[in-house]
Structure 1
Amino acid sequence: MSVVGIDVGFQNCYIAVARSGGIETIANEYSDRCTPACVSLASKNRMIGNAAKSQIITNFKNTVHGFKKFHGRAFDDPFVQAEKPKLPYSLHKLDNGNTGIKVRYLEEDKVFTCEQITGMLLTKLKETSENALKKPVVDCVISVPSFFTDAERRSVFDASQIAGLNCLRLITDTTAVALAYGIYKQDLPTPEERPRNVVFVDMGHSSFQVAITAFNKGKLKVLSTAFDPYLGGRNFDEALVDYFCEEFKSKYKLNVRDNPRAVLRLHQECEKLKKLMSANSSDLPLNIECFMNDIDVSSRMNRGHFEEMCAQYLMRVEMPLKVALEQSKLSRDDIYAVEIVGGATRIPAIKERIAKFFGKDVSTTLNADEAVARGCALQCAILSPACKVREFSITDVVPFPITLRWKSPTEDGLGECEVFTKMHAAPFSKVITFHKKEPFDLEAFYSNPQELPYPDHRIGCYSVQNVVPQPDGDSSKVKVKVRVNVHGIFSVSGASLIEKQKGDGDDMQIDSEPMVQNEGRGEEQNKMQVDPEGPSQQDQQSEENSSSSKEAAAGDKQDPAAGGSKPKVKVKSIELPIVVSNVRQLDSEVLTGFVEYERQMIIQDKLVKELNDAKNAVEEYVYDLRDKLCGMYEKYVTQDDSGRLSLMLEDTENWLYEDGEDQPKQVYEEKLDALRRLGQPIYDRHREHEDRPRAFEELGKKLQLYMKFVESYKQKDERFLHLSAEEMSSVEKCVSENMGWMNSRMNAQSKLAPTQDPVVKVADVIVKIQELENVCNPVINKPKPSLEEAPEASDQSAEAHNGPAAAEGKAEAKGNQQTKSGKEMEVD
């Protein structure tokens, strides 16, 4: 079983796998450890990753990048509308109001959802993983930003299903980094000691995240998280782009913004310049040839000027740090270390501000680019039964408070309760008790819309069905289980009606836990059930069974105030159906359709790859054979054949770049076969000429060996006296025949020119060697017959007369003689 962690970044993706007892970041087919988050759609196929990135300039309208933040967002979302003018490709409003991406694929205009595009990217990452592991990949853990809302997380989860992946967990970036940091630490304090508090700062290309985590031996607990979803490395790139656009407008009279290709090229150069300025404080040049209208442009920039331009972004670094520290209720002195990851943390000015805020040097012990993927792989290893990992528990947090509101059709007022507060531990389950006589609706939403980096604070509506009053007409007790699972996704996972079978006791006595009365006749238990194992159906069922058994036990318990005389109260738990609506997630039918379409695109990509491979094989054969005709094959082909073959190669090359540019796979295979019919004999003559001497040499050595054996037999060598005359005659005859065959073939071959087909092939010589060995080896290796009984008896008698020492010496001599004889018999 595979264990894979995937860091899906805004700009690049990383894959880490658990193998050979450790975590390894794997490289793609370009030997690159990072895969660009790009998908390029073309007239015949898709290109994903590095191949797609090379199409950004040439096929900019159909090459999709920077789509990570469109997950779960509506087309009318202010963020989407702000991004739309910056993108070289087109956005489209889907029927459900979400953001679609419009491109031209297979000569048709297509609109893909963000889930489909991310699914394509995950398909590529899955393929890369399988090539590295040499086995299928299904289970994985995928990273998401800590500020992703319920809708965004559901969207990423759907994308993993489209790619055919079983996502065991959506883990936040900073939690993955914390796991990669803590699991290898051998000196963490014990659970009884004060925890070690570490700050993790992650600034990538598009966002800024901070988490403060408490470590004890075998566990980590996230104390607080903070973020700026719109601050990252690309802000600094855009500042440089804006500056140079203005400069080129005044210096070269070029309106760069009117040319998407020029803007994309400028972005690429500005990103390179930004990285160079992180390592150099001197003036650095920017040169772009044929930038626009065949004009070469150039300019200069230094780090000081760059930091002045980006002052507004650098000022925003401190706020998330301050918020995270306040929420954790720690002081700066309580912080053990500050670990930084993410590409943008390499900017010196950002490092300085982080270090200044916490009053200590920042630490870079983790790989800035690969730490998230490594943490994902570690989490996958912990969750997978295929790996043995030391026990390490992870407690994450709910980034935004969640409120539940309820109403019945016949009730006028609304009730609501904040079921998960900000920074509440996750994953977590709670059971809320309601007293209802009829079905009712629950609406979940984020409590503080102003804190969300997302315009819609609604999560979903959940209708609890089949609620009926008790037989005596009283309200029924309905227990509703709400949950934030390991993916950080909220759900109403179950509801049950508690039916009293005997009305001998008050319904408030059924629950042994103390209650807190909530508005709208809802009650929430102070004691909550924690489910650290994740959101699987089995776990949920076991929790519900446990809850039911507790309730039954509480019902059977006698009231001590009544002196044990009060009859027992029996209860029955009935599962209630829940109808979910307004949850921003793909319908099952739509998702199934996307999965099938992804399979079709994979098949199409495979067919195009096979077609390109067939075409490339023809081109490669043309160039290879043409080169060798004037080189190593020159003496093996006649001048007439060489001229005719060279003309055919030239015609094939011209055909490839004209009529043969777009042909079926079978046509290329036929062209290659036609070329090979002429080229293969030349190749065979060259190979035979090179390998034939070695084959004849091997046959000659065998013949000399067996001839020596025959001569030894004729000289009455005692080693071979046990062999019969008939056996030796067969060996001698076989050797003689093969000697004659070899001499005649060598003489005949020596009379032929290299341009002629050989009279004897290497395969023929190998067959002769095998025939020779089959006849001679059984005779040569025939063992001597065992000694007779009578001589052994006389030897024993002699040993008895001469004593033990003599017997021992004779046995030793006999053993030496057998060893010597055995060595001499090993002829072949």
Structure 2
Amino acid sequence: MAGSVAVGMDLGTTFSCVGVWRNGRTEIIADAKTGARLTPSCVAFTEEGLYVGEAAAAQASMNPANTLYETKRLIGRRYSDPSLRKDINNFSYSVRDNGNNSPVIQLQYRDEAVELWPEQVSALVLDHLKKVAENYLDCEVTEVVITVPAYFSDSQRQATKDAARIAGLSVLRIINEPTAAALAYGIHRHTYGHRTVLVFDLGGGTFDVSLLDVVQSQYKPARYTVKAVTGDTNLGGTDFDRILMDYCLNDIRKRHLMELGTNVRAKIRLKKECEKAKCRLSVSMTTVIDVPGLIKGRDYSCTLTRAKFDMLCSQLFGRTMQILRQFLSENNAEVSSVDDVVLVGGSTRIPKIRSNLAELFGESKIRQTINADEAVATGAAVLAAIVSGDNSIDNLHIADVIPLSLGLADADEKMVVVMDKNTSIPARVTQPTWTTVTDFQTRCRLKVYEGEFPLIKDNLLLGSFLLENIQSARQGVPKLAVTFSVDENGILTVEAVDQATKNNKQVQIAARTGRLSVQEVDVMARTHARFTLEELVDSKDDQSSSSDEEMEDEEEEKEEHQTQEDIERLEAKAKDRLMSLCFRTKLLFGSVSSRDVINDADRAAVLRETDDLLEWMHTRAPNGRECRQKLVGFEETLKGFHEQIAYYARS
């Protein structure tokens, strides 16, 4: 594997993708295993091994407690956050407080209790995108530009950066998602002059609004200046899905006099169908939510109109417009001054969202010229090329802002703002008049907060540090200069200096309070391989040695259990096992590095057989017995490559 290319990654709540700048344009890279350009942000731990992406999402209803999704809503958050607690109650997996007010995920993996930080789960998704890019580009990928919601806190940004480090990626830049989308919108727009662009980004789990000044000139680098941002990191497409799901659960109670209760598997199946129905209503006025065998073997079906959907979700639609209108008002931005409204995120395909925006700004200003799902990764790929020194792309200037005010706690537990929200970054601001509160005080603990409330108890504590050897004097006499510096990634560093003694202390706050330490991130980076390729190969060994016995047990179990639900479970398990082996085989044999130990002809033959099996499962809808028979034959094919695969995985 020769050379290295910097890529852009959009690590989304529900879907993620990776892009690259090549041959004068951006390319969103499709996963060779599935052909999809969007990868579900989903990770599953099973008896057979680890799944990431489509394979993980496909088996979620069979393995709900160990299938992890929407973990972006956990990353960098406090366990005590009320909105987070609400999300946790809706998850099928277990999340607990680690004792330091940080959420950690609990699951079972190969009969062992495993505890993961959200950063580790995100690292697995990033690692998957890394491999997708490497297989396509035929070179190593170690540098990346990663996007985050504009309204992500300092803690969430640092946690995202930690996830990349765990995955073995060096972060060139963190860029706000709406800024990346604006970059994607402007890069191929050859209209020179000044335009005011509003990016409305409603994705799977987060909502952002950004206002930018975009200046493009024929002779100078383009300038993208973010004027202001706002948003809600707990508002997105998945919230619409849950409203539909609650509607269906209530319908089941009324029509069937039944409760799904703790049947997590049934709820996951229902939520998937609700999501599909939501998408169908973007192109049709009526759809049917149909879930076979949902209620004790009985089918569930209900008709849903777009008007009904709009009514059910009216509160969410109202929230998006309330946030938008308040944003425009706070920043003295007239609707008439906005030239372009760029729609980003899959949830902007909802007709009611578009009609609300058209009513406010006018239909002519709504821009749908970029792919709403891929725009963020496209912009990240452009920035990755520029930052890494790619001479094939014109340079440009990006000035982003901090989303929330930064400040210090005073003696009355009030927030003293040092850096206002929407300050352009990179930025450096000094509070020159900080002082002591007691006589002859020689030590001072500085507590750094983020937020807009006057009292610190309502804001987010980012961290604290101790400044010692302060001039011994009456209270108020020492003069401490406290400087806040925010880099282009939105990461905060704080420095305090006693102006009399010149004693100083500088700390990258990085919201380490309750977060992973630098040492913990290093350990996770070194042990990350446990959950990647070597585990997949080991699981192949385990599965091959026991599959015959397991299949016999399943046949006996199928004879013993006569309920439709049990039969469906065993059928699904057989298909899941074959699909799992196919996906892992494509990963192993499709990898660039595997070429060193397996010749091209053998690799091509195995990949053809794998594709044929996947196509067979897709078109034939085989039963469990047919899948088990195919599994035995496919494992025989792979036995001949056991030594090469094991050597490759451990090299």
Fold similarity call, TM over 0.5: yes
Query: Could you tell me how far 1:466 is from its partner in structure 2?
Result: 4.7
Name the aligned partner's letter for residue 208 of structure 1. Answer: F
Matches within 5 A, 1:44-83: 45-83=49-87
CA contact (8 A) 1:17 1:377 kept: yes
Q: Distance in 2 between matches of 1:579 and 1:347?
A: 41
Whether contact under 8 Å (2:154, 2:491) holds in the other structure is yes
Matched, 1:320 2:319: no
Deviations 1:7-38 (A, max 9, x none): 11111001111122221000012111000000
User: Alpha-carbon deviations, 1:784-825, whole Å to 9, x = none?
Assistant: xxxxxxxxxxxxxxxxxxxxxxxxxxxxxxxxxxxxxxxxxx
SS at 1:279 equivalent: coil
Seen in structure 2, the aligned counterparts of structure 1 residues 365 and 358 have a Cα distance that, compared at 3 Å, is same
**Structure showing greater relative contact order (alpha-carbon pairs closer than 8 Å, 6 or more residues apart):** 2
Identity across the alignment (%): 27
**Is 1:597–2:600 an aligned residue pair?**
no
Q: 1:654 to 1:232 in 2, by over 3 A?
A: closer
Deviation at 1:338, TM superposition (A): 1.2
Q: Does the 8 Å CA contact 1:434/1:478 hold for their aligned counterparts?
A: yes
CA RMSD of aligned residues (A): 3.5
**Which amino acid is 2:370 matched to?**
L
Q: Which structure 2 residues correspond to residues 411-810 of structure 1 after superposition, within 5 A?
A: 417-433=416-432, 438-449=442-453, 456-467=459-470, 480-492=482-494, 494=495, 576=505, 583-608=513-538, 611=541
CA change 1:103–1:173 in 2 (3 A) is same
Paired AA for residue 491 in structure 1? T
Q: Is the 8 A contact 1:317 1:354 kept in 2?
A: no
Deviation at 1:110, TM superposition (A): 0.8
Instruction: Confirm or deny that 1:121 pairs with 2:125.
Output: yes
Matching residue within 331, 341, 344 for 1:341:
344
Tell me which structure has the larger Cα radius of gyration.
1
User: C-alpha offsets along residues 516-567 of structure 1, whole Å, 9 cap, x if unaligned?
Assistant: xxxxxxxxxxxxxxxxxxxxxxxxxxxxxxxxxxxxxxxxxxxxxxxxxxxx
Q: Which secondary structure does the structure 2 equivalent of 1:187 belong to?
A: coil
Q: What does residue range 175-254 of structure 1 map to in structure 2 within 5 Å? A: 175-189=179-193, 195-217=194-216, 218-254=222-258
Question: Offset of 1:456 from its aligned partner?
Answer: 4.9
Q: Match for residue 368 of structure 2?
A: 364
Amino acid at match of 1:270: C
What is the SS of the residue equivalent to 1:131? helix
SS at match of 2:234: coil
C-alpha distance in 2 between matches for 1:582 and 1:370: 32
Match of 1:97 in 2: 101
CA displacement, residues 696-747 of structure 1 (integer Å, 9 cap, x when unaligned) = xxxxxxxxxxxxxxxxxxxxxxxxxxxxxxxxxxxxxxxxxxxxxxxxxxxx
Q: Evaluate the alpha carbon distance shift between residue 187 and residue 242 of structure 1 in structure 2; reply closer, same or farther with a 3 A threshold.
A: same
Mapped partners of 2:497, 2:453: distance in 1: 31
Match of residue 22 from structure 2: 19
Q: Whole-Å Cα distance in 2 between the matches of residues 233 and 184 of structure 1?
A: 28
Establish whether residue 88 from structure 1 lines up as the match of residue 18 from structure 2. no
* Between 586-595 and 259-268, the greater mean CA deviation after superposition: 586-595
Question: 2: CA distance between counterparts of 1:347 and 1:80?
Answer: 25
**2:24–2:392 Cα contact (<8 Å) kept:** no
Q: SS in structure 2 opposite 1:230?
A: coil
Partner SS for 1:349:
helix
2:346 aligned partner, one-letter code: G
- CA shift digits 1:264-295 (9 cap, x unpaired): 111111111111111112x3233222223111
AA aligned opposite 2:199: F
What does the per-residue CA deviation read over 1:762-801, in whole Å, with 9 as the maximum and x for residues that have no partner?
xxxxxxxxxxxxxxxxxxxxxxxxxxxxxxxxxxxxxxxx
Query: What does the per-residue CA deviation read over 1:213-246, in whole Å, with 9 as the maximum and x for residues that have no partner?
Result: 1111210111122223333222222222122222
Equivalent residues, number = 548
Match of 1:352 in 2: 355
1:95 positional shift: 3.4
1:431-478 C-alpha deviation (Å, 9 max, x unpaired):
4445879453322112524899x96521211333455589xxx97876
Q: How far did residue 388 of structure 1 move? A: 4.4
Q: Which runs of 5+ in 2 are unaligned?
A: 217-221, 436-440, 546-580, 586-601, 606-627, 645-651
Cα distance change, pair 390–415 in 1 and its aligned pair in 2 (3 A): same
CA displacement, residues 346-380 of structure 1 (integer Å, 9 cap, x when unaligned): 11111111111123432101111000001111121
Q: SS of 2:367's equivalent? A: coil
Unmatched runs of 5 consecutive residues or more in structure 1: 190-194, 408-412, 501-572, 625-652, 671-828
Query: 1-side partners of 2:326 and 2:50: how far apart?
Result: 43
The DSSP-based 3-state class of the residue aligned with 2:369 is coil
Q: In the alignment, is the contact (CA less than 8 A) between 2:407 and 2:449 conserved in 1?
A: yes
SS in 2 for 1:147: coil
TM-score calculated relative to the size of structure 2: 0.76
Structure 2 distance, partners of 1:79, 1:584, is 18
Please say if residues 16 and 377 of structure 1, whose CA atoms lie closer than 8 Å, have aligned partners that are also in contact. Answer: yes
1:291-330 maps to which residues of 2 (within 5 A)? 291-330=294-333
Cα displacement string for residues 156-176 of structure 1 (whole angstroms, at most 9, x for unaligned residues) = 111111111111222111111
Q: Secondary structure at the match of 1:73?
A: coil
